[in-house]
């Protein structure tokens, strides 16, 4: 078994995934729960960071896992299930963000944001999370997506390229621009 | 990590990497929606090979072969016409009992629609509608313990859908946030949801 990057890719997971996919395709709906359990938290983190609120993130997750379930017989075992699932998730997040922009919805600050903030560290509070969300939300969506895939999901540029269909050099540029924007932000606020 | 060498960028990346917790019912709602889809049909290796054979392909035929193939198809058509009663009982019903065959859902678009019902004192709530055959067991809703609301998200085709909520298995209720449909003839006032086509 090899462990790489915060447990994102574990060979054991890959063999477990293949076995679970086969069980689901054989008609065992409950086997899908194992796949959902294995990837839900990682997908939730990406969706919340990408979309900026839990309601939309929950919708993205629901649509992602449903689409993946429906399309499971088209999933090719030569691909990693996690990468295939993430491709669907990224597309769902893009769709939801586009629909949201289209509707010009106004989000009221959620109490749930504070209620659900994980309490794993004394220095971490709902305000911190809200602040990070606000900083990420200031980034252009394509820059934010590239930044999250690179530094939060810790994917290689090749993995990101396979997932997004965007070339490696363009992705490197997006990540660099995202970091530049964050640095610029720091320069603006450090003296305030 | 050369791009993140700046301490502020590193801090943002580190904080954004922290886990996110959605409410506990969210995962249950995913599986409820998956179960509402039904089980995949069994796909054995033999069936997979058969499916492969049936995949659409493009053949290039010479004009002579094309003529021959056309003649063959005409012949098959004539034969099939002669056997048009094949597979039909004397009384005209098909040999295959279609009533026992499970319907294959035809879903061309799938906008996910979230239904929410406020019922803090309810023990169970399910969603019924034209999309699930008004079956009270097919689409159970999950309760959010904090708000006391019940919700479920479903993929629905674009178009008009009529639905209602069933509380505690017996009481039918409409959705106060949605327009009402005319009485369905069974004494239930149902609600209407118009699902737009995909925007992308």
pLDDT the model gives residue B2: 58
Q: What is the mean pLDDT of residues B53-70?
A: 52
How many angstroms separate the CA atoms of A99 and B54, rounded? Answer: 37
CATH number of B111-195: 2.60.40.10
Is A129 an interface residue toward B (CB < 8 Å)?
yes
Q: Which of A127, A134, A3, A110 is nearest to A55 (CA)?
A: A110
Task: Say if residue B18's pLDDT is above 50.
Answer: yes
Does the distance separating the beta carbons of A185 and B8 come in below 8 Å?
yes
Q: Identify the residue with better confidence: B134 or B197.
A: B134
- What is the nearest CA distance from A132 to chain B, expressed in angstroms? 6
Q: With beta carbons under 8 A apart, name residues in chain B contacting A33.
A: 31
Is pLDDT at A180 greater than 70 in this prediction? yes
Q: Which residues pair with B173 in a beta bridge?
A: B165
CA A78 to chain centre: 22
User: What is the spatial distance between Cα A106 and Cα A119, in angstroms, rounded to a whole number?
Assistant: 28
Query: Going along chain B, which residue ranges are E strands?
Result: 111-118, 125-129, 142-143, 149-156, 159-167, 171-173, 191-195
Cα-Cα-Cα-Cα torsion B93, B99, B104, B108, nearest 10 degrees, comes to 70
Is the distance from CB of A84 to CB of A17 less than 8 angstroms?
no
User: At B106, is the pLDDT very low, low, confident or very high (cuts 50, 70, 90)?
Assistant: very low
C-alpha distance from B90 to closest chain A C-alpha (Å) = 36
Residue B168 gets the label, from left (phi > 0), alpha (psi -120 to 50) or beta, of left
Q: If you average pLDDT over residues A72-80, what whole number do you get?
A: 78
pLDDT digits (tens, 9 = 90+) for A83-97: 999 999 999 998 888
Tell me the two tokens of residue A75: 């999933």
Count of CB atoms within 10 A of residue B134's CB?
Answer: 17
Which domains does chain A possess? 1-107 (1.10.1740.10), 124-192 (1.10.10.10)
Spell out which residues of chain B touch residue A152, defining contact as CB-CB under 8 Å: 13, 16-17
Residue B30 is nearest to which of A36, A41, A99, comparing CB atoms? A36
The dihedral built from the CA positions of residue A129, A132, A136 and A138, taken in this order, carries a sign that is positive
Question: Closest Cα partner for A58 from B94, B76, B26?
Answer: B26
B42 Cα to chain A: minimum distance (Å): 4
- Among B127, B135, B120, B183, smallest CA distance to B155 is for B127
Predicted local confidence at residue B170, as pLDDT: 79
Whether A106 has a pLDDT exceeding 60, the answer reads: no
**Digit-coded pLDDT (tens) for A109-166:** 333 333 343 343 434 455 677 888 889 999 999 999 999 999 999 999 999 998 888 8
Q: Do B22 and A132 touch (CB under 8 A)?
A: no
Give chain B's mean pLDDT: 69
Q: How far is A178 from chain B (nearest CA, A)?
A: 9
Give the start-to-end residue ranges of the domains of chain B. 63-97, 111-195
Residue of A nearest to B14 (CA): A152
- Asked if the model's pLDDT at residue A65 lies above 90, the reply is yes
Identify whether the C-beta of residue B149 lies closer than 8 Å to the C-beta of residue B116: yes
Q: Provide the pLDDT confidence category of residue A8 given band limits of 50, 70 and 90.
A: very low
How is residue A68 written in tokens? 């993946």
């Amino acid at each position: 078994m090899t462990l790489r990057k915060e447990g994102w890719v574990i060979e054991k997971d890959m063999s477990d995934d293949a076995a679970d996919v086969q069980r689901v395709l054989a008609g065992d709906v409950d086997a899908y729960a194992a796949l959902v359990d294995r990837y839900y938290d990682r997908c939730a983190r990406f969706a919340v960071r990408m979309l900026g609120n839990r309601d939309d993130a929950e919708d993205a997750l629901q649509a992602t896992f449903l689409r993946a379930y429906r399309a499971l017989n088209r999933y090719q075992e030569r691909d990693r299930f996690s990468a295939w699932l993430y491709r669907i998730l990224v597309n769902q997040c893009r769709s939801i963000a586009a629909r949201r922009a289209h509707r010009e919805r106004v989000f009221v600050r959620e109490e749930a944001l504070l209620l659900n903030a994980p309490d794993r560290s004394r220095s971490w509070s709902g305000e911190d999370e809200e602040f990070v969300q606000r900083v990420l939300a200031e980034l252009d969506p394509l820059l934010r997506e590239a930044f999250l895939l690179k530094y939060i999901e810790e994917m290689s540029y090749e993995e990101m390229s396979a997932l997004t269909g965007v070339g490696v050099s363009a992705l490197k540029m997006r990540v660099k621009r995202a970091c530049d924007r964050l640095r610029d932000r720091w320069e603006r606020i450090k003296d305030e | 990590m050369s791009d993140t060498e700046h301490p502020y960028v590193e801090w943002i990346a580190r904080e954004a990497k922290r886990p996110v917790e959605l409410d506990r019912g969210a995962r249950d709602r995913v599986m409820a929606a998956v179960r509402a889809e039904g089980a995949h049909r069994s796909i054995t290796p033999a069936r997979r090979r058969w499916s492969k054979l049936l995949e659409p392909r493009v053949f290039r035929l010479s004009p002579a072969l094309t003529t021959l193939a056309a003649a063959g198809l005409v012949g098959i058509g004539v034969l099939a016409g002669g056997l048009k009663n094949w597979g039909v009982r004397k009384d005209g019903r098909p040999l295959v009992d279609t009533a026992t065959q499970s319907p294959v859902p035809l879903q061309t678009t799938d906008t996910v629609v979230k239904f929410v019902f406020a019922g803090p004192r309810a023990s169970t709530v399910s969603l019924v509608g034209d999309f699930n055959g008004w079956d009270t067991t097919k689409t159970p809703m999950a309760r959010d313990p904090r708000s006391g609301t019940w919700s479920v998200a479903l993929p629905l085709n674009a178009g008009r859908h009529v639905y209602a909520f069933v509380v505690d298995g017996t009481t039918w209720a409409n959705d106060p946030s949605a327009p009402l449909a005319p009485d369905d003839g069974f004494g239930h006032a149902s609600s209407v949801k118009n699902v737009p086509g995909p925007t992308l």
